[in-house]
Structures are given as C-alpha cells and as structure tokens.
Chain A
Amino acid sequence: MTPRARLVTAVVLTVVLLGSTAAYAVSAIVGHQARQAIPAEAQTAAFDRQVATGRIVFRNTTADAAYGLVASVSADDPSGDRSVTDIACDRVYSEARSTMCLRIDRGVLTTFSANLLDTAGTVQRSWSLPGIPSRTRVSSDGERVAFTSFVTGEAYATVGFATATQISTIHGDDYGNLEDFALTIDGTPNTAADRNFWGVTFTSDPDVFYATAATGSKTWLVRGDLAARTLTSVRESVECPSLSPDETRIAFKKNISTTATAHWSIAVLDLTTNKETVMPDPRNIDDQIEWLDDSTLLYGLARDDQPGDSDVWSIPADGRGASALFIEHATSPSAVRP
C-alpha cells in the first residue's frame, strides 16, 4: 500500500469504527430510556407510610421506571405487593425515625453523598463522600448514623487507603473518620499506615458500636467507644458485623478463601459463648447482613446475568436451614422495627 492509500484506509476505518460505536451507544441509550418508560409495576406510596414498623425497606432494582428507587414490602408477605417512593438511593438503611441514603450523584462530574432523611423523606443532613458508597447503618433509636464509602478518587493509584467510615448524630455532631480513633489490636496500640475501617453496627448503648478494622491482609471485629474515641479488637477474621436485635449475636461475612481472591460466607458469632457458625450458603456473599428478626438473616446478592440487578435472600440464623429467595429485584434491605 502506498502511504496515501494507508492514510485513506485509516480515515475510512476511523469514521466507520467511531460511527458504529456512536450508533451503538445511541441505540443502547434509547433502549434504556424505553425501559425507563415502562410504567413501574409497583404502586407509589408516601415515604412515611413505607418506612414504618413491620415493613422491609430496600433499593428496588426492577428494570422499569422504579429502578434505583427506595421501595418497601410487608415483612409478613415479602413477595406480595411492593410500593415505591420517589427517592433514589444507591444504598439505603431505614429505622422508624431516620433513614440513611447513600447516593451516586450522577452527571459528567459524578460525585457521591450520604444523606440523612427524616420520616417524610426530606434531607436533614448531607455529607460529601470521597468515593463510591458502600455501607450505612442507623442506630435502633434513630439518633446515630454511620456510613462507609470507598476512597476512589484515583482509580489506579490506591495507596493503601481504600475506605472511609464516619459516625455522626442526627443532631449535628460528627465524630469524624474512624481512622482518627485510637486502635488497639490484641492489647497493642496499632498505628499501621494501611488501617481501614468499615461496616459499623450500633448497640443500644449510645457510646458503643462494632465495626471492622483491617491492616495488612487481616481483619478484626473491633468494639468502638464514641466518648473515648477508641477501637479495641474483639476477634480476628470478621468483616461487616451486624448485631442481632437482642444483641446476643453478630452476623458477619467471613473470608473462607485460601487464595488471594476473596470468597465470603456468612457466619454468626455468639457473643456469650464465642461460638462461630457458618451458614450453609456456598455463594460468594458481599453484603452487610440485616437481621429480619432474632432468628432470620437477610442479604443482597447480585444477579450474574444482569449487571445492576440483585435479589434479597434469607437464611435461618442458626445455620440449620437453606437460603431462600426473599425479595426479587432488590438490594440493601432493612427491617423497620418498632
């Protein structure tokens, strides 16, 4: 080929390739908008009627106009009628008085935020997040909130810090990043550079909470004290703790993989006997577990066939029963208790 022929070929190929890429993108966007135009199957209902005792609040993932909206079902009939709100969250956790809504504020300049909603769904407080939302919890009295996000500014240049976790009250107090708390592991103060904290769960004592601490390739269950600003290790290899309503057990995810690639199973730790029970669900589960009641666990699991879609599953907390589909096309469940 002569240089001129090569140049012409390159121009033609460029136009064809970029043109077909653009055409594909436009058709995908139009297709998505068509799906969005499908009227939601679920009925719309006011926020305060959904975040109410006896309901399960979650993020809806049906492929229609209700995708990504906060929705709810009755705890007694989870596969029955679902109702949706007009509030979009990427991660949600509700307690009767307060709801935490972590959001990806999409746009050409995408940012991330954590938002505290009141019973009417109105934003009361808002925090900027340094990256993708991960976990959030509200204490059972609705007074304290916690949220974790990844630190994802530089996608490729993660220098050892990967998560940021903060605890605040609904009245305006901020306890700041858990990295600034004094960490003690097995009785020794730890100031490792790569400390990470995530997955807070509150207790009925306003000062006490549990969370995950990590440094190196190890993780610990830590007990935190808000007044003293301390974190003390309780047990190794516990991630994303979730305290049972009766506060006797902690459900968590446990890495059972022997290779570098993590594989998480759910386990339950009895705080009085220190006995650990692994649940019989062999799938890789990466979620902060929710207690439906004192005997049943709930967790979200992504669908393999459809990116962005997931289901909520349930499993008996004693480890003696198989998992079962609980709510289809849903994730980030929370059981609203009295």
Chain B
Amino acid sequence: MYISLPQRGPRQKNGAPAARVSSVVVTLGVVSMLTDISSESVASILPLYITGALGLSTIAYGFIDGIYQGVSAIVRIGGGWASDRTDNPKWVAFFGYAASAATKVGLLFVSGFAGIASVIALDRLGKGVRTAPRDALITASSVPSNLGKSFGVHRMLDTIGAAGGPLLAFLILYFVPTGYHLVFIVSLGFAVVGVVILGLVVPAIRPRRQSAAAGEPRQPFRWRTLAEPRLRRLMLTAGILAVLTVGDGFIYLVLQDRSPFAAQWFPLLYVGTNVAFFIFAVPLGRLADRFGRARVFVLGHVALLGAYACAALPVGGAAVTVACLVLLGAFYAATDGVLAALASEATPPENRATGIAAAQTVVAIGRLVGSTAFGILWFAVGRELAVIIVAAALAAAIPALLVMVRPLARTAAA
C-alpha cells in the first residue's frame, strides 16, 4: 500500500504549474478506497442479509432509502459549514469516517429491521458529513492547475473501492454462504484502517490560515458567498443537468428487458459502470485541467446521452450493454470529481467546503427529482419513448449550457 509523506502536500501549493498530484490527495484516495470497500461490501449484501438471514422483506427498504437521501443532503451542507467555521476540514471529515466505521460494529449486534435501518442511517450521516470537508482538503493540497487531475486520482481510488467491495463480499459468501457477519467484520477491518490512516497520516490543513499566510486577506465564513454569481451559475448548470440525469437503475432495466446478456448480469451492471469510472477518472480529470473544467463537465453529459441512445436502440446484445456501461462510467468520470473542482474554483477558501457541499447537494436533489419524474414518464409513455424524450431534452440542454458556462471557463483559464 502507498503511504504518503505528510509534510509534502501543502508546500506544493507554490510549486510548478504542471505539478504532480499531492501525496495528501493520494492518501485521501486510499482512505476513501478502504472506506468504500467497507461500505460497498456491506451495501451489496445487505438486501440478501435482510431477506435471506433475517427473513424480512426489502420492500420498505427502498422507501426509507429515499428519506436518507434527503437527510444526507442536509447533513452534507452541515459538514461543509462545520469545516469552514472551524477551519479544520480534516477532523470534521474524520468524524464522518469514524461514524461510518462505528456502524459496522452496530451491524454485528442488531437484527431487527428498525435496528438495521438506524445503523444505515448513521452510515449515511457519516458519508454526508465527510464528503465536502474531504474535497476541501483535496483542493487545499493541490495547485489550481492540476485540480481536475487531483480529483480524478481521488475518484479513481474511491471507485476502485466501490467496485472491489461487492466482489470481496460475494467472494466471502461464496466460501461461507451464511457468512454475513464475516463480511461485516472484514468491512469493519477496512473501515478502521481507513480511519487510522486519515487520523495519523493526513495533515490537519487549515485552508483559511493557509490562504492568509499566502498574503490573501483573511475572510470570515459567510453564507452570502454562496449566492455569488459564479457559484450560482455553476449550481444552476449542474442542477439543470442533474434533473435530466435518469438513475442508472432505469437504464439497467431497459437493457435487461432487451438483452439476455444484460438480464443475466443485471445485479452486477453497476460494478461494470464503476470499473469504467475508475479507468476514465484520471484521463478525464487531466483533460478538464487543459480543456476547461466547465466544458468537460457539460460535455461529459454527451456520454450520458450516448448511454441513453444505447438504451433506446432497438437492438440488444452484449456489445450494446458493455458500450452503455462504458459511457455511463465515462459520464461519472467527467462530472463527479470535476464538479468538486469547479465548485472549489468558484468559492473562496473560507467558504470552500460549504460551496462544494452546496453544489453536490443541488446535484443530488436534482437527480432525485429527475429520477422520480422519469419513473412517472416511464409508466405513462413506455420505456423506450421515455428514454428518447429525456435524451432529446438533454441534447437540447447541452449546447445551451455550454454557452452558459463560458464565463466560468474564462476565469478558470485566467
């Protein structure tokens, strides 16, 4: 395993423009990877555990999940705010990671549906709290010219964990068919290691103090900066695109309906998307640094459009399914880390974590609205037509939004 030297990160701030990705970013990526192995291994077998071992139904589970999404979005802003107020993103993120690790202990002892639901809720809260401070740390330990690549490296490691977790869990269940508790214990092991590395190795960077030391005027935290034109423009763009982003689950269902290949591998299609995501994360992050982050963010939705086209195509086969997963992965690689980089650019250091959280929350809520609306459209006009309608709207939105984000691209190049 790669362990970085802690003192290097912040100093690179004044380094050469074509700087390498900071060791702090790589360490944060490793922490995220370990945490994702931990949480995704549990998430992938949880439905099996609930139905198979506990003899409960998962029907109510989907409903409760929707509520958590909302709670998580609010907590995310809270995490960003706490990070900015205290000027201590590391320890706010640490709290979030530690809370999620603690839930793995809880899983070993609860058995009722309510118990499991509250354990999952705590896990979600932890995830909500840690995301924005961690992204603020990534920004603080990168130079502006390679911000896209830095987020690319982090998301690559993060997604390797997300793809590896389910495989690890299923490997364990392959050896021990009822080994749910073994999965929870292994998951706990990975989570604790992630928390240890974060606590001991990642430096407690203080972005506000750091920028003050660099000669910039020291500013207190202000909510008002969230309404600044650049961030507002970014949130509006990201929000519109998010509403036109249909949940992956729908695309998988269309594929499954059409192709026996997709039907057989349906439960694992999301792993395929994650594999494509981690392969493209770094190249697309670098492209964003060179070609303009706002442009890559908007044009990344062309890959999503391609995925819709694959899904709406009247042919079905293994090749179409694989192409669809590759396009979905490329879409996430071009948008997920790049959004955090864009939000970082659009906010001053003293508000950065809150700004990142706000942008991510807008996207999360937008996608929830989009998926709900699409679900209704799906049953109103049928699968294929619903996909074609959303694809047409997205195709119209992309060029318009490219024009809208031009001011963002200009300042980024300056």
Contacts and interface: CB of A to CB of B under 8 A. Distances in A.
Interface of A: 3, 6-7, 9-11, 13-14, 17-18, 20-21, 24-25, 28-29, 32-33, 67-68, 90, 104, 106-112, 128, 130-132, 134, 150-163, 191-196, 214, 217, 260-262, 284, 286-287, 300-302, 304, 307-310
B174 A157 contact: no
Contacts of B403: none
A131 B7 CA distance: 47
Given A17-B189, A130-B266, A161-B253, A261 B58 contact: no
Nearest to B373: A193
Contacts of B44: 155
Nearest to B189: A21
A302 B57 contact: no
A160 B375 contact: yes
Interface stretch (B140-148, B205-213, B226-234, B256-264): B256-264
B200 interface: yes
B195 to A, nearest CB: 10
A110 B114 contact: no
B53 A110 contact: no
Contact of B193 (A18, A108, A154, A163): A18
Contacts of A67: 177
B378 interface: yes
11 contacts: A14-B196, A109-B167, A110-B173, A111-B266, A128-B260, A131-B266, A158-B249, A163-B59, A192-B379, A287-B55, A308-B177
Contact of B178 (A14, A17, A156, A307): A307
Chain B, interface residues (CB within 8 Å), range: 35 or more
A90 B197 CA distance: 40
Interface in B108-138: 111-114, 117
Given A153-B249, A156-B65, A307-B180, A106 B185 contact: no
Instruction: List 10 tightest A-B contacts by C-beta distance, closest first.
Output: A21-B189, A308-B178, A158-B62, A302-B55, A307-B53, A193-B375, A10-B200, A128-B264, A32-B176, A155-B43
Nearest to A21: B189
Contacts of B63: 217
Contacts of B61: 158, 162
A152 B47 contact: yes
Contact of A109 (B3, B114, B175, B268): B268
A28 B181 CA distance: 10
Contact of A157 (B1, B248, B263, B268): B248
